[in-house]
Amino acid sequence: MKKITISVPSSVANVSCGFDVLGFCLDKPCDEMTVEIKKTKGLEIKIINEKSITTDPKNNVCGPVAFAMIKKLNLNHGFHITIIKKIKPGSGIGSSAASAAGMAFAINYLTGNTFSKLELVKFAMLGEEIASGAKHADNLSPVIFGGFTLVRSLNPLNIISLPTIEELYVIITHPLIELKTKDSRQIINKQISLEKAIQQWGNLGGFVASLYTKDYELLSKSIDDVIIEPQRLKLIPNFKEIVDAASKYSLGSGISGAGPSIFSICKGEKNAELAMDTIRKITDKKKLEYNLILSGVNKDGIKIIN
Amino acid sequence: MKKITISVPSSVANVSCGFDVLGFCLDKPCDEMTVEIKKTKGLEIKIINEKSITTDPKNNVCGPVAFAMIKKLNLNHGFHITIIKKIKPGSGIGSSAASAAGMAFAINYLTGNTFSKLELVKFAMLGEEIASGAKHADNLSPVIFGGFTLVRSLNPLNIISLPTIEELYVIITHPLIELKTKDSRQIINKQISLEKAIQQWGNLGGFVASLYTKDYELLSKSIDDVIIEPQRLKLIPNFKEIVDAASKYSLGSGISGAGPSIFSICKGEKNAELAMDTIRKITDKKKLEYNLILSGVNKDGIKIIN
C-alpha cells in the first residue's frame, strides 16, 4: 500500500464539566486527507481550499507527528500529504486535531499498522502542541477512538472509551470569528475554588454515569460547567442567547473546545432540527455570520475512503 | 407498627478522587437501632456501650432529623430511640451518618413510608450538619441507597446509585485516635490549582466508568486523590506505611471520610485477607492501637431486623 485517502472527523472537546478530559467525535464536518509514500525524505504538504494554514512541515501540525513516526520507524522515505480542509481552523471543533490524528493514522496504515490507538494519540499530541501551545488529547482521542472518550490521565496517557448513545445529535453553532486556542486558554484562572471543583467533578461523574445508563435527565443535569464557561463566555458572541434558545429542544449546551463554536446536545434528530431552527432565528438577526451544523455522534472516528 | 429494630451500616465517604461526592456502604460494623413510638411528644435517646455521645435530643444527630420529620408529618407523639453503637464515633466511617440515616429510615417506616430515599437523605442531612458543621450527603447516600453512590449535586440534591461490584472487599484500618470532621475540614485549602482539579475529575470519571465496566485496572488507577489526601495525610498516623503495605494486595487505598481510618479496596476476599495480614504486621509494631475491619461492599444499606 503506497497511498491512502481517509475521512477525518471534527470533534468536541472540553465538554462542559469535562474540561481537558471529555470529548466526542462528530459525523461532520470531515477533512479529506490523502497521504502517499514519497521516495525521497521529507514531507510535502498541500492544503486545498484553506489558505490560512501553513504548508511548511516545521509549522504545520502534521510535521512533528510525521517526523516522530518516521524517526521511530526508521523510515528512509517521506510522504506527500494532501488535505481537503472542511473543518474550519480556529472554529473550536478540532481542526488541528483532525490533521494531527489523520497524519498519525495514515502513516501507521501505510507502514503496516504497528502502533496501537493509544500510541497514535501520543504521536498526534506532538501536532496539537504546536497548534495550541499545550499537549492535550481531548480532541485527538475521540477522533482516533470514536464516540465519547475520557482522557483520565495525560501522564501516563490513559484514554477510556465511553459508551456512545446513538440517539444523540449535536448542533454546532459557529460564529465566524477566529479564536486561537492559545488566547482562549490564557484567560483561564490557574486557581479555582474547591467548592466549584466539587460541583464540577460531581457533574463529570454524573455525565459518565448517564452515558452508561442512557439516562437523558441525568445527562442534561450534568451538562453544567461552573468553572471554565463563566470565564470564557465573554469571548463567544451571543452565547447566552443562543444557549437559551437551544434549551427548549436540547439536553444542554456549552463551549466547544476553546470556542468560539457552541455545541448543543439533543435527544433524537428531530429535536436537533428544532433546536437548529430556533438557533437560526437568533443568528439570522445578527450582523455576524454563523455556520450551523447538525451532526450525529460518530462512533467510529477516522474512516478509510480509498 | 409501633416499634422497629434496624441494622444501620457504616460507610466510606470522600472516596479518593471523589471528595464530597463519592461514597460506598460497608457490610460491617453496623449499629443496631430500635425506635419505638412514644405517646408523649419529644425524644428519649439511649445509647448503649458508647458514653462519649450526648443523649440530649438537641445535640444528638438524631434530634434535628426526628424533629423535622415530626413537624413535616404533623405528629402528636414522640419516639424512644435506643442505639447499640458499634460504629466508633470519630473513626471516619460514618458513625454520625448511621444514626442520622437510621433515624430517618425508622421514623419513615413507623409512619407509613411516605418519603422517598432522596427525602430521607435530606432529613438525615440535618443531623450531619450538627455533627460536622456542614451539610453533606456522601456518607448518608450509601447508607440509605446501598452500594456506591455519587452525590452529583447538593443543591438541588441529586444522588446517583452506581453499580456495586460484588467482588470488592474493603479493609478499614482504624488508628484509635479521634479526629473530628470539623477539625479535619479546617485544614483544607479553599483554593486549588486547576491542573490538580483536572487530574481529580479525570480520575473520578475513570472511577465511575470502572464500576460500570468492572475494569479493575482502571479502578485501581483511578484511586488517586491529588488534592485532599496530600493535605490530610499528616493527620493520619503511619498513613504511607500502611498504604504501601496494603498495595501489594489492594487496588488502592485512601483516607476514609475525614479520617483517621484508611480504606483499602481489594479484588476478592482472599486478597482482602492478605492485605489485612500485611497491614497488621505494620500496626502490630506500633505503640498506637489499631482496629482492623474486613468488610464487603453492602449493596442494600439499612436492614430491618425486627
Nearest Cα residue in chain A from B156 = A221
pLDDT for res A133: 76
> Is B197 in contact with A197 (Cβ distance < 8 A)?
yes
- Please state the separation of Cα B270 from the chain's center in Å: 24
Report angle CA B234, A205, A299 to the nearest 5 degrees.
135
Q: How far is CA A77 from the centre of its chain?
A: 30
Residue B85 neighbours by CB under 8 Å, 6+ apart = B31, B47, B48, B49, B50, B53, B95
d(CA B13, CA B95): 11
Chain B: closest CA distance from residue A221 (Å): 9
pLDDT at A150 over 90: yes
The cell 468553572 sits on which residue? A227
For chain B, what is the domain count? 2
Same domain, B174 and B205: yes
The CA distance from A152 to the nearest CA of chain B, in Å, is 4
Strand pairing category for B3-12 and B22-38 = antiparallel
Residues 6 or more apart whose CB falls under 8 angstroms from that of B187 comprise B231, B232, B235
Range of the domain at B172: 168-296
Say yes or no: A94 and A181 in one domain.
no
- C-alpha dist (Å) from residue A297 to A20, A27, A92, A149, A263: 19, 6, 16, 12, 12
Residue with cell 436537533: A272
Distance CA A202, CA A16 (A): 12
Q: What is the largest CA-CA distance in chain A?
A: 58
What is the chain A residue with the closest CA to B202? A152
Nearest by CB to residue A204, choosing from B194, B201, B227, is B201
Inter-chain CB pairs, A–B, below 8 Å: 126
How many angstroms separate the Cα of B204 from the Cα of each of A42, A56, B103? Answer: 43, 41, 31
For A159, residues 6+ apart whose C-beta sits below 8 A from its C-beta are A117, A118, A121, A137, A141, A145, A149, A150, A151, A152
Task: Report percent pLDDT > 70 for chain A.
Answer: 100
CA B173 to chain centroid, in Å, comes to 14
Do B155 and B279 lie in a common domain?
no
Q: Which of A162, A191, A218 sits opposite B193 (nearest CB)?
A: A191
Chain A residue with Cα closest to B161: A209
Q: Quick one: B179 and B79 in the same domain?
A: no
Q: Which residues does B2 contact at the CB level (< 8 Å), separation at least 6?
A: B36, B37, B110
Q: Which residues of A touch B218 (CB under 8 A)?
A: 152, 158, 160
**Which segments of B57-116 does DSSP mark as H helices, in order?**
62-73, 95-110
Interface test with A, best of B16, B24, B161, B208 (most A CBs within 10 A): B208
Q: Across chain B, where does the E strand assignment appear?
A: 3-12, 22-38, 43-48, 78-84, 148-154, 157-162, 168-175, 191-193, 252-255, 262-267, 290-296, 303-304
CA distances from B177 to A84, B92, B98, B236, B259 (A): 67, 11, 20, 9, 10
Residue A109 CB burial class (10 angstroms; 0-12, 13-18, ≥19) = middle
- Separation of alpha carbons B187 and A301, rounded Å: 46
Residue A149's nearest CA partner among A105, A94, A103, A195 is A94
Mapped onto helix, strand or coil, the DSSP state of residue A173 is: strand
Q: Are residues B176 and B46 in the same domain?
A: no
Tell me the whole-structure pTM to 2 decimals. 0.96
CA-to-CA distance for B177 and B287, rounded, in angstroms?
A: 12
* CA gap B179, B177 in Å, rounded: 6
Q: What is the DSSP string of A34-87?
A: EEEEESSSSEEEEEES-TTS---TTTSTHHHHHHHHHHHHT-S-EEEEEEE--S
Q: What is the DSSP letter of A260?
A: S
Active site residue B129: no
**pLDDT tens digit sequence for A221-244:** 999 999 999 999 999 999 999 999
Per-residue pLDDT 10s for chain B (306 aa) are: 799 999 999 999 999 999 999 999 999 999 999 999 999 999 999 999 899 999 999 999 999 999 999 999 999 999 999 999 999 998 999 999 999 999 999 999 999 999 999 999 999 999 999 887 778 999 999 999 999 999 999 999 999 999 999 999 999 999 999 777 677 888 999 999 999 999 999 999 999 999 999 999 999 999 999 999 999 999 999 999 999 999 999 999 999 999 999 999 999 999 999 999 999 999 999 999 999 999 999 999 999 999
Are B191 and A188 an interchain contact pair (Cβ–Cβ within 8 Å)?
A: no
Instruction: Identify any residues that bridge with A37 across adjacent strands, giving them in sequence order.
Output: A79
Distance (Å, whole) CA B115 – CA B229:
36
Using CB atoms, pick whichever of A22, A201, A207 lies closest to residue B21. A201
Min Cα distance B250 → chain A (Å) is: 20
Report how far residue B171's alpha carbon sits from residue B185's, in angstroms, rounded to the nearest whole number.
23
Q: Are A137 and A182 contained in the same domain?
A: no
The residue of chain A nearest to residue B22, with distances taken between CA atoms, is: A202
Backbone angles phi, psi at B156, to 5 degrees: -75, 155
Tell me which of B34, B128, B173, B278 is the catalytic residue: B128
Residue B20: phi and psi, rounded to 5, are 70, 0
pLDDT band, very low/low/confident/very high, at A184 (cuts 50, 70, 90) = confident
| Chain A residues inside the 8 Å CB shell of B162 | 209
Query: Which of B152, B191, B222 is facing A203, going by the closest CB pair?
Result: B152
DSSP assignments along A187-226, one per residue: TS-SEEEHHHHHHHHHHHHHHHHHHHHT-HHHHHHH---S
Contact A21 B202 (CB under 8 A): yes
Q: Which of A181, A229, A278, A283 is catalytic?
A: A181
Contacts of B51 (CB under 8 A, 6+ apart): none
Contact yes or no for A152 and B18 at CB 8 A: no
Is there a contact between A198 and B19 if contact means CB atoms under 8 Å apart?
yes
Determine the residue type at A122.
K
Residues of B in contact with A222 (CB under 8 A): 152
- Say which of B34, B164, B181, B283 is annotated catalytic: B181
Q: How far is B209 from chain A (nearest CA, A)?
A: 7
Q: Please indicate, yes or no, whether residues B152 and B193 belong to a single structural domain of this protein.
A: no
Yes or no, beta carbons of A201 and B200 under 8 Å apart:
yes
Exposure on the CB side of residue B109, measured as CA atoms within 13 A: 22
Same domain, A118 and A208: no
Give the CATH number of the domain where residue B9 resides.
3.30.230.10
Question: Which of A21, A151, A209 shows the shortest C-beta gap to B208?
Answer: A209
Position B62: which residue type?
A: C
Query: Which of these, B262, B257, B98, B289, lies nearest to B183 by C-alpha position?
Result: B257
Q: Are A270 and A75 in contact (CB under 8 A)?
A: no
Rounded to the nearest angstrom, the minimum Cα separation between B211 and chain A is: 9
Cα of B20 to nearest chain A Cα, Å: 7
Catalytic, B278? Answer no
Tell me whether residue A149 is exposed, middle or buried, using C-beta atoms within 10 angstroms of its C-beta: 0 to 12, 13 to 18, 19 or more.
buried
A154 and A181 co-located in one domain: no
When computed from its CA atoms, the radius of gyration of chain B, rounded to whole angstroms, is 19
Whether B187 and B261 share a structural domain: yes
Pairing of strands B303-304, B3-12: antiparallel
Q: Three-state SS for A149? A: strand
Strand partners, A78: A38
B142 and B13 housed in the same domain:
yes
- Which H helix or E strand runs over A126? helix A117-132
List beta partners, residue A153: A158
Q: Which run of H or E residues covers position A125?
A: helix A117-132
Which residues in chain B touch residue A189, judged by CB atoms under 8 angstroms apart?
Answer: 194
A89 and A215 in a single domain? The answer is: no
By a Cβ cutoff of 8 Å, what residues of chain A touch chain B?
17-22, 150-153, 158, 160, 162, 188-195, 197-209, 212, 218, 221-222, 227
Which residues of A fall within a CB distance of 8 Å from B157?
A: none
ipTM, 2 dp: 0.95
- Tell which residue, A217, A72, A227, has the closest CA to residue B194: A227
What's the confidence (pLDDT) of residue B146? Answer: 98
Task: State the CATH number of the domain containing residue A217.
Answer: 3.30.70.890
